[in-house]
């Protein structure tokens, strides 16, 4: 009896530690968004003497995304090889560097201050892999990962709402990004402190989910040779989802204005809260699926469902069956249902199903580097091929095309894993 009580207390303490670790991962990445996305709440419409055909805000976005994409390319190696030591210090140093670039932003005149956004994005692309390394390879990774993924669904809207409130309070739009980042710094520090208290995966985690190890160049090359075709299908879909998500995220102010809700700071976050809750619940439920191949196929089903919701809700909006708030909420839900698994659990379960000792960060960063290059390409296509097209019309067209292609490629990838022999699970140690 005493032994049973002791075991229950240990399990309860372990569960609380994991839950606090998930909250810390959420908080750390939530705070990072304050340094990355706050500037998108401003329109930067009146830049005197701006000489280029590309508008100033789009130039800022492209500069930041190029820095972010370059960071993801660097991260393919860095995150694959990083160990468990000094991660919190590395995260803090990278975010400090990004904030210093924001401090330079109002001090350097346009167009030269566009380089400040490049320097701001360059260190931030490594943060996701460093934070995710704390939680991958665990039996509870779906729960912890869903909490982490909820951060980037919810944080962008909340950060832009906070930034819009600072603008309304009289903070100049060029100083607003640095001020917003400073406001979220206490959350960052507390979250990093708690992440460092999270213990590494235990023996049962490693038996069920495969040990997570650094991957050197030869390991990465061998993995890509063995699984490159399936990864190409998945990552192509992810490129489209990333580009569309960035249009919806970065031009939310313009989209809401076209929909008749401009100048309402609460709209940035009001449409994202139900999205975060729905996606969080869907991801967390995957923890109940113990078989790794079934869980991997369930994630394919989640991506497919998101693509269908994205496409069908856009068609319904065109037909006048739903209003603008419902449409923005449904497209957000569909986008993030399809997009979110790539950032955590899809590759974590893929490694476990395949049975190869590796780490998910390597695959996440290949996908992310490709995705953000796709985001830059979509912005350039919009500005040089359809410069007079309104953002709302552009977003709806891209939503329909993305939904169709992602659905097709996801089905092809799922068929590949259905045909693949099951990994033989070893019995867990007593």
CATH of the domain at 62: 1.20.1250.20
Instruction: Look at residue 114 and tell me whether its pLDDT is greater than 60.
Output: yes
Confidence of residue 42 (pLDDT cuts 50, 70, 90): confident
Could you tell me the sign of the dihedral formed by the alpha carbons of 215, 22, 166, 333, in that order?
A: positive
Average pLDDT over residues 122-131: 91
Instruction: List Cβ neighbours of 167 (8 Å cut-off, separation of 6 or more).
Output: 41, 42, 173, 176
Instruction: List Cβ neighbours of 10 (8 Å cut-off, separation of 6 or more).
Output: none
Model confidence, pTM: 0.71
- Domain tally, the chain: 2
Q: Which domain holds residue 150?
A: 14-44+52-207
For residues 201 and 158, membership in a common domain is answered with yes
Confidence of residue 110 (pLDDT cuts 50, 70, 90): confident
Q: What is the CB neighbour count within 10 angstroms for residue 1?
A: 5
Residues 60/44, Cβ–Cβ less than 8 Å: yes
* pLDDT score recorded for residue 157: 79
* pLDDT score recorded for residue 358: 67
Percent of the chain predicted with pLDDT > 90? 36
**Which of 173, 189, 207 is the last residue before a domain boundary?**
207
For residues 196 and 241, membership in a common domain is answered with no
* pLDDT score recorded for residue 67: 92
Q: State the Cα–Cα distance between residues 114 and 100, nearest whole angstrom.
A: 14
Domain-located, residue 111 = yes
- 250 vs 246, more confident: 246
Instruction: Look at residue 93 and tell me whether its pLDDT is greater than 70.
Output: yes
Average pLDDT over residues 311-318: 94
For residues 271 and 390, membership in a common domain is answered with yes
- Which of 42-46, 140-144, 268-272 has the least mean pLDDT? 268-272
Instruction: Look at residue 58 and tell me whether its pLDDT is greater than 90.
Output: no
**Which of 207, 225, 250 is the last residue before a domain boundary?**
207
- Which of 128-132, 193-197, 406-410 has the least mean pLDDT? 128-132
For residues 137 and 152, membership in a common domain is answered with yes
* pLDDT score recorded for residue 370: 87
* pLDDT score recorded for residue 401: 95
* pLDDT score recorded for residue 233: 92
Confidence of residue 94 (pLDDT cuts 50, 70, 90): very high
* pLDDT score recorded for residue 420: 66
For residues 180 and 304, membership in a common domain is answered with no
Domain-located, residue 425 = no
Average pLDDT over residues 232-261: 87
Residues 307/340, Cβ–Cβ less than 8 Å: no
């Amino acid at each position: 009896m005493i032994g049973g009580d002791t075991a229950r207390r240990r399990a309860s303490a372990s569960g609380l530690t994991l839950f606090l670790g998930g909250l810390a991962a959420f908080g750390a990445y939530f705070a990072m968004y304050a340094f990355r996305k706050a500037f998108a709440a401003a329109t930067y419409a009146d830049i005197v003497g701006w000489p280029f055909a590309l508008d100033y805000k789009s130039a800022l976005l492209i500069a930041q995304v190029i820095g972010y994409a370059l960071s993801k390319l660097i991260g393919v190696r860095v995150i694959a090889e990083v160990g468990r030591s000094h991660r919190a210090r590395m995260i803090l140093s990278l975010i400090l560097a990004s904030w210093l670039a924001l401090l330079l932003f109002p001090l350097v005149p346009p167009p030269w201050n566009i380089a400040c956004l490049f320097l701001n994005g360059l260190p931030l692309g490594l943060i996701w892999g460093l934070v995710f390394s704390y939680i991958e390879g665990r039996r509870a990774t779906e729960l912890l990962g869903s909490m982490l993924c909820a951060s980037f669904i919810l944080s962008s809207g909340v950060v832009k709402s906070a930034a819009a409130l600072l603008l309304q309070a009289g903070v100049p739009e060029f100083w607003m990004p640095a001020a917003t980042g400073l406001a979220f710094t206490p959350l960052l520090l507390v979250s990093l402190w708690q992440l460092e208290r999270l213990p590494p995966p235990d023996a049962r985690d490693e038996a069920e989910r495969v040990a997570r190890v650094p991957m050197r160049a030869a390991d990465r090359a061998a993995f890509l040779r063995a699984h490159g075709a399936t990864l190409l299908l998945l990552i192509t879909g992810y490129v489209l989802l990333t580009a569309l998500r960035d249009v919806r995220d970065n031009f939310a102010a313009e989209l809401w204005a076209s929909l008749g809700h401009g100048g309402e700071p609460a709209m940035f976050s009001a449409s994202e809260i139900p999205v975060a809750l729905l996606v969080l619940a869907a991801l967390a439920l995957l923890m109940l699926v113990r078989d790794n191949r079934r869980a991997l196929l369930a994630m394919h089903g989640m991506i497919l469902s998101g693509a269908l919701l994205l496409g069908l809700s856009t068609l319904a909006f065109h037909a006048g069956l739903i209003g603008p708030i419902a449409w923005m909420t449904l497209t957000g839900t569909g986008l993030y249902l399809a997009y979110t698994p790539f950032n955590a659990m899809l590759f974590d379960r893929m490694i476990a199903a395949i049975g190869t000792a590796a780490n998910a960060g390597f695959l996440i960063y290949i996908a992310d580097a490709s995705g953000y290059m796709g985001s830059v390409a979509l912005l350039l296509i919009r500005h040089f091929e359809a410069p007079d097209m309104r953002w709302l019309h552009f977003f709806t067209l891209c939503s329909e095309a993305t939904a169709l292609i992602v659905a097709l490629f996801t089905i092809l990838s799922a068929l590949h894993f259905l045909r693949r022999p099951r990994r033989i699970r070893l019995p867990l140690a007593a």
